[in-house]
Amino acid sequence: MAPEELRASLKGLGAVGFVPTMGYLHEGHATLIRRARQDHPDGRVVVSVFVNPMQFGPAEDLSRYPRNLDGDLQVAGQAGADIVFHPDAAQMYPEGFSTRVSVAGVSEPLDGAARPGHFTGVTTVVLKLLNMVRPDRAYFGEKDWQQLAVVRRMVADLNVPVQVVGVPTVRDPSGLALSSRNSYLTEEQKTRATVLSRALRAVQAAYADGERHTQALQQAGMNILTAESEATPDYLSVVNSHLQGTELVTPDPLNRVLVAARMFGVRLIDNLPLDPGPDGTGRNA
């Protein structure tokens, strides 16, 4: 389906909820789609499936990133999507394409430092997709916390007429955050990869015990993470709502602890609210 055909198919059909993905859909994506369906009972829900080459570095896993369009169509349909938009690279980046969208500040630390150019690829493709779909709301998982912050900053700065909705991370019973890249791992490796969530919970526990020094909080997590011989950390950072670290943590429900590490040749990320609050989400902290 070409972008103009997508717009024509949505014209006059009510409010639109949009879930942008890179495909290989799992329960985390299905949760986003169900939330969009819940919010748009009389409108339309659009899911995009596009493995965006612009957000992969030259040494990253673009060529082997998991793909299964038939499976994606099934998951999306069962979760309540009306349309799956599956453009190819030539439609997204036609000959002569020369524009990039960059967001300063929140895009620079953490994954921005570890993966130069990554967020420029994200914001460029997200803005293009938002312009193609023109949704009322767009849904992003909180597992990619920094990506969510970057998209929100872009939408606010450029006056994009869309509400960005963050949806809590979906985990398997072990605590491992669901990710398409988990498909690279064996069951034993997935079990060992729960070290990321265990490290995050160690930081939460230290904070609950009264620790407020950022370096000490981060060390509590690193002690867990580095005890796993297969974990090579990129970062484990306690940050505020601007994704900045401070010497001492000031109470704020948007304080977050984020981690990225490579395990068994796979780069994994995760995050949790520093103070989970009464309901476990951090929103009531």
Residues annotated in a binding site for ATP: 22-29, 141-144, 170, 178-181
For residue 86, the Cα-to-chain-centroid distance in whole angstroms is 19
Binding site for (R)-pantoate: what residues are annotated?
Answer: 55, 147
Binding site: what residues are annotated?
Answer: 22-29, 55, 141-144, 147, 170, 178-181
Please state whether beta strands 256-263 and 231-239 pair in parallel, antiparallel, or not at all (unpaired).
Answer: antiparallel
Catalytic residue among 29, 86, 118, 242: 29
Decide: 154 and 122 in contact? Cβ < 8 Å: no
Binding site for beta-alanine: what residues are annotated?
Answer: 55
- Secondary-structure percent of the chain, ordered helix, strand, coil, rounded to 5: 40, 20, 40
At residue 245, what is the residue type? G
Decide: 36 and 43 in contact? Cβ < 8 Å: no
Is 29 one of the catalytic residues?
Answer: yes
Written as one string, the DSSP assignment of 63-120 is TTS---HHHHHHHHHHHT-SEEE---HHHHS-TT--------STTSSTHHHHSTTHHH
Helical (H) or strand (E) element with 125: helix 118-133
Active site residues: 29
